[in-house]
């Protein structure tokens, strides 16, 4: 997801603002690729949306009338919010016009288009003139802005008193390969953990613990929870999601990982062979999110 600068896809989900500032080519994001990986994530690991929106409903107090999905992406969160809060109007905000097209299409497919509207806006800029809201949702988006605390302050200003900000981040990139155990039955680091460590050095999915920043922006921290995702996706879908990630790893790490790991990556990505992601049946996709709930007093 997560979760954007998969020079188009996984990067777009994961790299932080610092990385952005040094890679101007991100203006040319492969939006279709990003939308695809976000949609795959929602289909394979999207159970967290059910859990996080239920938790938000318990915390928000009352019935929110207006909700902003800040950095809506392909609209998985927007749709989940519209389903959870059946009378709320959801405003999807994103700097990418293409993403907002995906969001509107997702809303149409799920039959909630009547309560979903969009605004193209850069979270790094002063917010557009929009009605203040009861709930702001920022999933895998806060770590992408240049100055997250400035964005938090704008979110604070954009909420009604008592309103809730929910920030969601991927705890780590999703894991797909079966866990290798050592002689004592303990998980042992394998290819996938080496790849994750290598992309961490490129600041994929990099973000601070948000609590202190939220408090500095004026929020009261209400709760912080971890939400593991449980996948019941068909093997073909899981394989596609895995292929997308591993292809991005290969692209990002070609000059970094050992020759052995590169060869292993190529066997995973090959169209045929016993290790091919396209054919193996032992993939075990695991992922989890952390969410912060912060209230404007």
Ligand X SMILES: C[S@@+](CC[C@H](N)C(=O)[O-])C[C@H]1O[C@@H](n2cnc3c(N)ncnc32)[C@H](O)[C@@H]1O
CB 203 within 8 A of CB 16: yes
Name which position in 53, 66, 133, 140 contacts ligand X (CB under 6 A): 140
x/- string (CB under 6 A) for ligand X, residues 28-57? ----------x-------------------
Check residue 3 for interaction with ligand X (CB under 6 A). yes
Window contacting ligand X (CB under 6 A); options: 72-80, 188-196, 205-213, 236-244 = 72-80
Contacts of ligand X in 86-125 (CB under 6 A)? 94-96, 99, 122-124
Query: If 0-12 CB within 10 Å is exposed, 13-18 middle and 19+ buried, where does residue 135 land?
Result: buried
Q: From CA 272, how far away is CA 117, in angstroms rounded?
A: 44
Q: How far is CA 82 from CA 78, 115, 118, 254, in A?
A: 6, 7, 13, 41
What does the buried/exposed string (b/e) look like for 221-254 if buried means 16 or more CB atoms within 10 Å of the residue's CB?
eeeeeebebebebeeeebbbbbbbbbbbbbebbe
Q: Does 203 bind ligand X (CB under 6 A)?
A: no
Shortest distance (Å) from residue 293 CB to ligand X: 16
- ∠ CA 45-50-55 to the nearest 5 degrees? 125
Among 133, 139, 154, 238, indicate the residue that binds ligand X (CB under 6 A): 139
Classify 226 as helix, strand or coil. strand
- Determine which residue in the list 45, 76, 104, 136 makes contact with ligand X, applying CB under 6 A: 76
Q: Which is nearer to ligand X, 49 or 159 (CB)?
A: 49
Closer of 168 and 268 to ligand X (Cβ): 168
Pairing status of strand 116-120 against strand 133-139: unpaired
Nearer to ligand X, 93 or 247 (CB): 93
Q: Binding residues for ligand X, per CB under 6 A? A: 1, 3-4, 12-13, 38, 71-73, 76-77, 94-96, 99, 122-124, 139-141, 144-145
């Amino acid at each position: 997801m997560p979760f954007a600068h998969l020079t188009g896809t996984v990067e777009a989900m994961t790299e932080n603002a610092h990385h952005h500032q040094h890679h101007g080519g991100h203006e040319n994001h492969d939006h279709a690729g990003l939308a695809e990986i976000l949609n795959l994530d929602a289909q394979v690991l999207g159970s967290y949306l059910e859990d996080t929106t239920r938790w938000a409903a318990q915390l928000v107090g009352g019935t929110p009338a207006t909700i902003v999905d800040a950095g809506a992406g392909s609209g998985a969160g927007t749709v989940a919010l519209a389903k959870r809060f059946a009378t709320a109007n959801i405003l999807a905000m994103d700097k990418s016009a293409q993403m907002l097209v995906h969001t509107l299409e997702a809303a149409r497919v799920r039959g909630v288009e009547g309560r979903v509207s969009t605004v193209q806006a850069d979270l790094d800029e002063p917010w557009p003139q929009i009605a203040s809201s009861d709930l702001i949702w920022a999933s895998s988006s806060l770590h992408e802005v240049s100055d997250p605390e400035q964005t938090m302050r704008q979110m604070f200003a954009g909420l009604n008193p008592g309103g809730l900000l929910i920030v969601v981040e991927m705890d780590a990139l999703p894991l797909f390969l079966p866990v290798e155990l050592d002689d004592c039955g303990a998980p042992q680091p394998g290819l996938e953990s080496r790849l994750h460590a290598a992309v961490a050095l490129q600041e994929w999915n990099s973000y601070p613990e948000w609590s202190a920043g939220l408090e500095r922006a004026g929020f009261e921290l209400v709760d912080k929870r971890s939400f593991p995702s449980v996948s019941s996706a068909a093997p073909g879908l899981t394989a596609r999601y895995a292929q997308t990630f591993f292809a991005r790893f290969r692209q990002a790490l070609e000059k970094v990982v050992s020759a052995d790991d590169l060869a292993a990556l190529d066997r995973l990505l090959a169209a045929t062979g016993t290790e091919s992601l396209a054919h193996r049946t032992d993939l075990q996709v695991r992922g989890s999110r952390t969410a912060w709930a912060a209230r404007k007093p």
